Structure formats: C-alpha cells, structure tokens
Structure 1
Amino acid sequence: MEQISLHNEKDLLLRVAEGNEVAFRILYDHYRKKIYASGLFLTKSENLAQELVQDVFMKIWEKREQLRKIDYFNSWLRTIARNTAINYMRARAMEKLGINYIPTPEINNCFTENDAADREYAVLLQAAVNQLPSQQQKVYMLHRQQGLCHEAIAEQLDISVLTSKKYMKLALRSIRIFLEHRMDAAISLALVIYFS
C-alpha cells in the first residue's frame, strides 16, 4: 500500500485532486477534529457539528479539482467551514421563525445542549416582536403564540381578514430582517473570536 503523509501538504492536495481516496482520508483525519470543534462552538449541537464536518468534506471532495490551485489550504478550508456554519445558523434561525412556542427556562428544568441557544434565541425573537408596530405585534402574538386563525384575529381586533394577513406578512418580514441582522453580527463575532 502506498504511503502518503501530510508533511508535504501540496503533494497531498494534488493527490486528492487526482481522486486518490487514501490521500483524502489522510486530509480528513487531520482536519476533521478542527472542523468539528468549530462547528460545536458555533452551533452548540453535536449533531450539527457532525453534519458540518460531513458537509465540509463533501464539498472538498466535490471541488477537489480546485485543490491544484490552492496555496493556503488551511485558509480555504476555514472559509468553506465558516460559510457552511453560517448557512446552518441561518437555516436554524429561519426554522425557529415558524415555531408557535417560545421556550423559557422555567418551563423545563432539564438542561440540554440546545437550552442555552434556545433561551438566547427566545430573547432575540422577543426583541424583534417588541419592535413591531402595535397592530402587527398583536396579530403576530395572536397567530403564533395563541394559535388563532386570521378570521378569529380579524374578529377580535375588528379588522378585515386581509388586513390580518397583511399585518402578519409585514411582521414576519420585519422579524426576519431583525434576526438576520443580529444573527449575522453574532455569528461573525463568534467566528472572528474562534478563528483568531
């Protein structure tokens, strides 16, 4: 069996670019813990960190032809990992926009790895809701937190069903913009701290 080492990384990258699976495995074994640690730091989830490792190395394999031109692999790898992590965090934040329930620390005394992130998100979401105009805030709260349909909201607030839907649409857009702005800043800060 052919011996390949990481000592000459450029040679290793050329072998990976040629499709050498042994070379790819050496690259994977060398860098996977670093990617996992950064994923765990950013997502606070072992499952998401594992997914991040798999996605990053899948992208490397799919883009292996580019490895011939890479002079600073560590920087290139960090960029792929950072972008993948940011996409995960954005997707998670957007998924949470659809929830009807905002977790609070008093509800469940059992601490899990996502509790801290959920509490931080709940605070951020509440700040986004608080900045909405009064009517949009009412429609959002009635629909998302109390589960009322637009017909019931319209009746309760003495507005039309179309107005209720319009307020909900505007509220969701404002919340999304609010969260994206703050999440991007928080993610960027976390990445700068971690990769510095």
Structure 2
Amino acid sequence: MLRNHTDNNLLISLKQGDMAAFNELYFRYSKRLMAFSFTFFADQQLAEEAVQEIFVRVWERRKKLDETKSFKSYLFQAVKFYMYNYIRDRKKDCSLDVLSDDNVIGARNQEDDFTYNEMEGMVMELIEKLPKVQKEVFKLNKLKGMNSEQIAHHMKLSKRTIEHHIYLASKSLKKNLLENPTLSLLIFANISF
C-alpha cells in the first residue's frame, strides 16, 4: 500500500512516471496545501487554481524532482512563489486602495513555519527599524489613518516633507518585503501604500 511509503520513495516512483505515486502525494498534501493557499487567496477558486497548477507542474517536472529534499517544503514554497508571481503579474490591473474587506487576508490555520501573529510581529519589527521620523510618519499615516496634511500639522512639518517621509518609508519596507512574499502579502492586506 502506497500510504505506508515515504515521500522520498514516492518521488522515486513518480520520477519514473508512476501515476499511483503521484496520486498518493496529491491526496497526502492537497488538503493541507489548499488550507495554506487559502491564507493567501481569500477566494476559494484562486486557492484551488494555485494547488492544481502546482501539482500539474510537479507532474510535468517529475524527472527533475530531488527525492533527497523535503517534498512538503517544496510544495509550500511553490505556493508562496505562485502567490508572489500572481500578485506581480496583476499589480498593474488593480490598486491596493480598492480592496474590500472581503478580500483582506486573515489568519487561518496553515501548514507553515509562521503563525499570523508571528508574521505581524515581523512586519512591526521592520517598521520599528525605520529611521525615527519615517517611522513616526508611517505609523501615523498607515496605522492611525492620518493624511499627510494632518500629520504635517501634528508634527509641525511641511506637507511635502511628510509625503517624502511616507514615500521613503514605503520604499524601504517594500524592498525588505520582496525577500519574504508572505510578509509582503500580510502588510499589503492591512496597509495600503
């Protein structure tokens, strides 16, 4: 029975074109991968498409799979890359400012190294590392909802200076977030640049 086989053994069979090994890997991971994918795509259909696409790629690239590495990690990384590419390819078609509350990505059970709270903590750490004025301006604007005019009045600085600090802080955060698409999605879901 294939259920008793390790992922490594199944991958060896899969590389030889064994459809039963593929099916076992699919049934072994598809539900967990769907739950993980759903943390990125609040839309069930998009989450399903991501999982299906990843397994299609697994089949197509089966001969190149490395059975000595964790297949589970490979799958979850594939979801992250799929999500990152999906956002990158569609960023011209949508504005983060028009996302409705229904599209906000929330914390759901997931098979990943980070919980939602840990990711949120990491985002806050990135914000805390900003230079003092940028950090203060960014927090007032993005977390407290104040516009640049209100912040300028509050901090006794010009509106143009405030806008420049918001730009610099956003640019710095985006650069850091490119290294971690999961955090990027979290911050984009909660803070619109």
State the TM-score, normalizing by the size of structure 1: 0.51
Aligned counterpart in structure 1 of residue 164 of structure 2, from 163, 166, 174: 166
Contact 1:36 1:52 in 2 (8 A): no
| CA distance, structure 2, for counterparts of residue 151 and residue 9 of structure 1 | 61
Q: Which residue of 1 aligns with 2:128?
A: 130
Comparing 28-37 with 139-148, greater Cα deviation is found at: 28-37
| CA distance, structure 1, for counterparts of residue 28 and residue 67 of structure 2 | 16
Change (3 A) 1:144 1:70: closer
| CA distance, structure 2, for counterparts of residue 150 and residue 129 of structure 1 | 18
Q: Which residue of 2 aligns with 1:121?
A: 119
Q: Which residue of 1 aligns with 2:153?
A: 155
Contact 1:35 1:53 in 2 (8 A): no
SS in 2 for 1:12: coil
Deviation at 1:167, TM superposition (A): 0.7
Change (3 A) 1:65 1:130: closer
| CA distance, structure 1, for counterparts of residue 56 and residue 37 of structure 2 | 24
Deviation at 1:72, TM superposition (A): 5.1
Q: Which residue of 1 aligns with 2:137?
A: 139
Instruction: Point out which structure has higher relative CO (alpha carbons under 8 A, 6+ apart).
Output: 2
SS in 1 for 2:17: helix
Q: Which residue of 1 aligns with 2:80?
A: 86
| CA distance, structure 1, for counterparts of residue 68 and residue 170 of structure 2 | 39
| CA distance, structure 1, for counterparts of residue 54 and residue 33 of structure 2 | 17
What code does the residue aligned with 1:12 have? G
| Structure 1 unaligned blocks of 5 or more | 1-5, 14-22, 92-97, 100-111, 187-196
Deviation at 1:142, TM superposition (A): 0.9
User: Which residues in structure 2 correspond to 1:16-165 (within 5 Å)?
Assistant: 23=19, 27-34=22-29, 36-37=31-32, 54-61=49-56, 66-67=61-62, 69-70=63-64, 81-87=75-81, 113=108, 117-165=115-163
What percent identity do the matched residue pairs reach?
18
| CA distance, structure 2, for counterparts of residue 120 and residue 44 of structure 1 | 18
Contact 2:29 2:72 in 1 (8 A): no
Contact 1:129 1:137 in 2 (8 A): yes
| CA distance, structure 2, for counterparts of residue 59 and residue 83 of structure 1 | 10
SS in 1 for 2:145: coil
What code does the residue aligned with 2:80 have? I
| CA distance, structure 2, for counterparts of residue 62 and residue 38 of structure 1 | 14
Deviation at 1:33, TM superposition (A): 1.9
State the TM-score, normalizing by the size of structure 2: 0.51
Q: Which residue of 2 aligns with 1:103?
A: none
Contact 1:90 1:180 in 2 (8 A): no
| Structure with the greater alpha carbon radius of gyration | 1
